[in-house]
Amino acid sequence: MKITSIDALQLPSGNKGATTRGAWSPVLVRVNTDEGICGWGEAGLAYGKGWRAGRGMIQDFAEQIIGMNPMNTEEVWETIFRKTFWGMGGGTVVSAAMSAIDIALLDIKGKALGVPIYQLLGGKTNDNLRTYASQVQFNWGSDITKQELVEPEEYADVTLRAMEEGYDCVKVDPIIVPDSSGKSWNIRGPLQNHVIKTVYDRVAAMREAGGEDLDIIIEMHSNTDTMAAIQIAQVLEPLRIFYYEEPAHPLNVENFTEIKKKTSIPIASGERIYTRQGFRQFFEKRLLDVAQPDLCLCGGLSEAKKICDMAWLYDSNVQIHVCGSPISKAAALQIEAAIPNFLIHEHHQRALNPVNRSTCKYDYQPENGTYKVPELPGLGQEPTEDCIAKADILTVAAGMKYMKKNFLHNSREVGYGKCNIKSGSGCEGSQNV
């Protein structure tokens, strides 16, 4: 089997059109083979700024691996890592592109062998995956009108709504949304008293509403600095916090060292830590009680399995970070089924969005706060034909004059990559020279 072409797709999920940059822009990759099997992966750049760069990096890396055997996943990964120069440099964009391709290769391998990916990772150790409602400060549900909660009473109400759906754990960023006082809202320390009080009151309202058995995860998104993170941790400790996510800059272990000294709350991070090299120093200093690699950013499923194994060595549990299209969710469920140090699955508010849910064929959702692991071959997920038809697609194939004039235009406009959606065998009409 050989890789014949690779498609980089921007989905119009939540945007006005395929080429419109909105707040949500999932970037997928499809790896096509000469045996008619294609694999899907995702670059973890659906949010924030970076999707264009990630999409371009996918194309650059694609050039390097056309013609390789997709079943040789380690060889392909090492080729990208060592023979592209920037592969060894890592970082968000590089790792996102590597991740998307690697996930797609595992999808191909699973389909070729007729087994779910978790079988390729060692087999099932978990089935009923405990799940938490993530980012409830942005409300909860598929049809919401108010997207930023302010008052403690609102935080109590959203907690109860999540619990009514069967969740016994919720995650909240209690500092990202300013209070209603109109006072300055500086979230880097030293913190003003009204900021600390507001954070405490919001979480205390959640604790009272949810009772003692509810687990509450606190998320800082690295917006707080070390001092602010310590102040918040100390004031929230009496409220029994499950763990404390990204309390400070995610790439400076010394910041985490200082926070770890000053609180008994378990520490979590990983969304913006890349490959084994990035996680190593955190594990060796025993700074992560919960490791949170993002499969679409850390180097893919192959690399994530190595990170999870490394976490196991240091008695660190794992919660895969998930914030993307249903492709990323499907990948997370596969690896969570296989790893013995799985802790809990993240079900993001974005995963409830009807537009996002409709991008793929299967709408996997938890029942009573628990996920079952899909049993279809490979990922067990792929975009709908309608979604692919609306996507902006760029194709790299053997012999194609990549980066020629006008190549970066919409593929449908210049004749590159009319996708063979039904067979998944590659792209018709690609201009090979």
Which of helix, strand or coil describes residue 411? Answer: helix
Strand partners, 7: 30, 395
Residue-wise pLDDT for 111-169, tens only, equals 999 999 999 999 999 989 999 999 999 999 887 888 899 999 999 999 999 999 999 99
Token pair listed for 108: 């191909």
Q: How confident is the model at residue 402 (pLDDT cuts 50, 70, 90)?
A: low
Token pair listed for 299: 């180097």
- Closest to 36 (Cα-Cα) out of 112, 139, 126, 94: 112
Strand partners, 134: 348
Q: Residue 418 has what pLDDT?
A: 36
* 218 vs 132: CA distance, rounded Å: 12
Task: Give start-end residues of each CATH 3.20.20.120 domain in the chain.
Answer: 119-371
pLDDT at 362 over 50: yes
Strand 3-10, strand 27-33: pairing: antiparallel
Strand 290-291, strand 267-269: pairing: parallel
Task: Decide: 373 and 118 in contact? Cβ < 8 Å.
Answer: yes
pLDDT at 309 over 90: yes
Residue-wise pLDDT for 249-280, tens only, equals 988 899 999 999 999 999 999 999 999 999 99
Across the range 173-180, mean pLDDT stands at 97
pLDDT at 429 over 60: no
Compare 36 and 409 and report the one with higher pLDDT.
Answer: 36
Q: How confident is the model at residue 17 (pLDDT cuts 50, 70, 90)?
A: very low
This prediction has a pTM of 0.91
* 122 vs 102: CA distance, rounded Å: 17
**Close Cβ partners of 190 (under 8 Å, ≥ 6 residues apart):** 227, 228, 231
Poorest-confidence range of 24-28, 86-90, 341-345, 405-409?
405-409
pLDDT at 407 over 70: no
DSSP letter, residue 378: B
CATH code 3.30.390.10 for 3-115+382-428 = yes
Task: Give start-end residues of each CATH 3.30.390.10 domain in the chain.
Answer: 3-115+382-428
For residue 117, give the H/E element and its range: helix 117-120
Q: Burial, 215: exposed, middle or buried (Cβ in 10 Å; 0-12, 13-18, 19+)?
A: middle
Q: Residue 145 has what pLDDT?
A: 84
Which of helix, strand or coil describes residue 28? Answer: strand
Across the range 324-333, mean pLDDT stands at 97
Which of helix, strand or coil describes residue 318? Answer: strand
pLDDT at 432 over 60: no
Q: How confident is the model at residue 243 (pLDDT cuts 50, 70, 90)?
A: very high
pLDDT at 23 over 80: no
pLDDT at 34 over 60: yes
Compare 13 and 34 and report the one with higher pLDDT.
Answer: 34
Supply the mean pLDDT for the chain: 90
Across the range 24-44, mean pLDDT stands at 96
Across the range 337-364, mean pLDDT stands at 95
Across the range 409-425, mean pLDDT stands at 36
pLDDT at 401 over 50: yes
Across the range 40-53, mean pLDDT stands at 93
Share of the chain above pLDDT 90, in %: 82
Q: How confident is the model at residue 400 (pLDDT cuts 50, 70, 90)?
A: low
Strand 215-219, strand 243-245: pairing: parallel
pLDDT at 71 over 50: yes
Across the range 369-378, mean pLDDT stands at 96
* 156 vs 142: CA distance, rounded Å: 19
Q: Which CATH number fits domain 119-371: 3.20.20.70, 3.30.70.20, 2.60.40.10, 3.20.20.120?
A: 3.20.20.120
